[in-house]
Structure 1
Amino acid sequence: MYITITKQTLDSNYTQSVADFVAYLEKENDDKSIDEMEHFFNQYGEEISSKEVIQEIDGNTAKLKKTEPKFYSITVNPSARELRRLQNHSEELKKYTRELMKDYAASFYRENPVSVDDIKYYAKIEHQRTFKGKDKQIQENQSYATKILALKNEIRKIEAGNSNGNIKNLKDTIKQLEKEAPHQQDGKRIVRGMPKEGSQSHIHIIMSRKDMSNTYSLSPGSKYKASETVFNGKLVKRGFDRDSFFKASEKTFDNLFQYKRNYVETYTARKTFVKNPKLYFSILSGLPTNERALAFKLLGKSGVNTSLLNIPTNQVQLALKALQRLKQGIGKAIESGSIGI
C-alpha cells in the first residue's frame, strides 16, 4: 500500500477552485459508456456529479486566506498483490475508502474527537495508471529516448534541406534502439504516458480543509502530531498523526480482506528503510524463511537486485558498496510506488 497526502497547489498557474483537479480525475471516463464510468462517492452517497463536488468543496472555505490550501487529496495505491486479494475492485475499494476515512478522522488531535461525519470528502476509483518520470522503467530507458530524439531531429533537418545524411539508415538505427531499450511492454519501448499493464486500480480522495460545518480547519498537513497552543486566551489542541493514519490504513485493509501483509509491504518497513537502512536489511535477513523468501520475491519484482540480500542472518554489517546499491534500488522502487508500502 502506497499512500500520499498532498495539499492544493497554490501558485500563478492554479486557480483557487478544485475544478481543475476534478476535471483531471474525470479523464478516465472519456469515451466510456454510462455503465462503464466511475463516479464520485463519499461516506453515504453514490454517483455524485463533478458539479456537486466542485460546488461543495469551493463553497466550504470560510475564513481561509488565498494563500492557504482549500483542500487536500489522498491517493491510495494498492499493490498488485493487494489487488489480487479483491474480487470486485470498484465495490471493495469503495468499502475500503469509507473505512479508511474513519481512520483519517481519528488521526486528528482535537479537544473533541473528530469523526468521519465531520469530514467533507469526495472519492473516485480509477483503474489505469501511466508511466511517469520517477518510474524505474522510464529512467533506465532515458538514454535510449535521448538518442532516438536526436536521430528524429536529424531526420527533420535532412527533410528540410538543412543537413545531409541517409534517412533510411537513421530510421533503421531508431528501430534498433527501440528494440534494445531494456524496458518493453507489448513489444514497445516504455515511454512516459504509456498506460501500465495489469491491475492498476487506485483511489483518489478530495478532502475539504474545513469541517462539514465550514467552521473548523482540519489540515492533514499540520507539522504537529499532537500539540497544544493558546489562541485568544484559550487552550487549543492541534495536529494530525500521519504515522497513526498510515499504520491504521494497512490494518483496516488487512482486516477487511483477510490479507497477510509481508514486512516489506508495511509502512513501518518503509520508515525504517529511510531512517536506518542497515536495520532494515538486518530485519529482512532475520525474517522466518517463508516470509524472507516472499519479501525477496516482492523486492525482486520491483527491480531490486535481491542477490545482495542473501547474507547470513547474523551478519548485520553489509559491505558499504552493496548497501549503497540496495538503497538506490529500493529507494527508486518506493518513489515509483511499485512496492506496496
Structure 2
Amino acid sequence: MYITITPQKLGGAFSQSAGDFVNYLEKENQGKDPLDKEYFFNQYEDKIKPYQVIKEIDGNTAKLKLKEPKYYSITINPSQYELKHIHNNPEKLRAFVREAMKEYASSFHREINGKPINVDDIKYFAKLEHERTYKSNDIAIRENKPYSNQIAHLKNELRKVERGEVLGNALQIEKDIRKLVREAPYKIRGQVVEPGMKKEGSQSHIHIIVSRKDASNSYSLSPGSKYKASEVKMHGKMVKRGFERDRFIQNSEKAFDRLFQYNRNYVESYAAKKMLTKDPKQYFLSLGKLGINEKKIAFKMIRQTGLQLPVLHLPQNKVGFAYKQLKKIIEASVKASSIGY
C-alpha cells in the first residue's frame, strides 16, 4: 500500500477552486452509462455528485489566505496483493477508506472544543478509480527507454527509405525493429510499454479530497503541518498542534489488515520501506531474520512487484551496499530453503 498526501496546487494557472481537480477525477466516467459510473462518497453518503463536492470544498475556506491550500489530496494505492486478497471489491475499498479516514482524523494532535479530532470533524470526499497509465518515471518506461529510442530512430529511417529520401534496406530495418521489440524488458501484448499505455491487472486506487478546514469551517487542520505532535503556549495557554503522518499511514495499513484479515508481509509494510531508505543495513538484517515461509513470500513480492525499487532512491553511496546485501540474503536463502529462483 502506498499513501501520499499532497497540498492543493496554487499560483500560476492553478485555480483557487477545487473544480479543476474534481473534474479531473471524473475522467474515467466519460462516456459511461450512469449505472457504471463511480461516484464520490464520504463517511456516510454514497453517490455524491461532482458539483456537490466542489460546492462543499470551495465553501469551507473561512479565513484561509490566498496562498494557503484550501484542500489536500490523499491518494491510496493498494498493492496487487492487497487487491487480490479482497477480490478488487469496490465496496470493500470504500469500507477501508472510511476506516482510514478515522485514522486520518485521530492523527491530528489537536482538540476542538476540548475533544480530540474525530472523523465527523473532517470534511472529505473520496472516489475510486480503476485504471492507471504508465508515466515517464515508471521503472518500465525508464528501462524500456534505450529500446524505445532505437525503435523510434529506426522507424524514422524506415519512413525515409520508403519515401525514397535515403538509400537503405527496408526489410533489414524491419527485422532490426522486431529484434528490439523482443529484447525490450517490458511489453504488453507484444507492444513495448510506453508512456500513456494502460497498466494491466487490477489497478484500483482511491483519490480523497479533504478540506483544510474542519467540518464546522472554524478550525484549520493541515496534514502538511511542519509540526509533529507537540504543545505550544498561545495566548497564555497550552495548545496541542501537529499531524502524525507516519501514524496515519501505519494505522491505515493496520485497519486494512484488521478489516480483511490480511497477513501483511514484512517487505510490504510502511515501516520496512521507511527503514530501507533511512537504514538499509538494518532493513536487510531484518529481511534475513524472517522465517523461511515469510522470506519466500518476501522475495516473491520483491521479484514480482518491484518492492526493492526504493533502493533506487537511496543516496548513491548506499545503493551498491543495498544491492549487495539483497543479493547475499537471496543467495543464502536459496541454499538454506530451496527458494526457487
Q: Same fold (TM over 0.5)?
A: yes
Look up the match of 2:208: 205
Q: 1:277–1:327: 8 Å Cα contact kept in structure 2?
A: no
Q: Distance in 1 between matches of 2:96 and 2:257?
A: 10
Deviations 1:77-107 (A, max 9, x none): 1111111121462111001111110000000
Q: Deviations over 1:123-155 (max 9, x none)?
A: 001111111222221111011112223334445
Structure-2 separation of matches of 1:168 and 1:18: 54
Q: Aligned pair 1:278/2:287, yes or no?
A: no
Superposition pairs for residues 1-341 of structure 1, below 5 Å?
1-87=1-87, 89-111=89-111, 112-154=115-157, 165=168, 169-303=172-306, 321=320, 323-324=322-323
Q: Distance in 2 between matches of 1:280 and 1:78?
A: 22
Alpha-carbon shift at residue 322 of structure 1 (Å):
5.4
Q: Give the aligned residue type for 1:2.
A: Y
Q: Give the conservation status (yes or no) of the 8 Å contact 2:88–2:202.
A: no
Task: Quote how far apart the aligned CAs of 1:163 are.
Answer: 5.6
Within 1, Cα distance between the matches of 2:159 and 2:325?
42
Deviation at 1:228, TM superposition (A): 2.4
CA distance 1:30–1:285, shift in 2 (3 Å): same
Code of the aligned partner of 2:273: R
Shift of 1:185: 1.4
Q: Deviations over 1:258-291 (max 9, x none)?
A: 1111111111101111111011011111111111
Q: 1:155 to 1:243 in 2, by over 3 A?
A: same
Distance 1:161 1:15, change over 3 A: farther
Equivalent position of 1:308 in the other structure = none
Mapped partners of 2:76, 2:146: distance in 1? 31
- Within 2, Cα distance between the matches of 1:28 and 1:73? 18
Cα distance change, pair 304–2 in 1 and its aligned pair in 2 (3 A): closer
Output the aligned Cα RMSD.
2.5
Greater RCO between the two (CA within 8 Å, min separation 6)?
1
Q: Structure 2: 5+ residue runs without aligned partners?
A: 309-317, 328-341
Return the alpha-carbon distance in structure 2 between the equivalents of residues 326 and 20 of structure 1.
46
Partner of 1:335: none
Unaligned runs of 5+ in 1: 306-318, 329-341
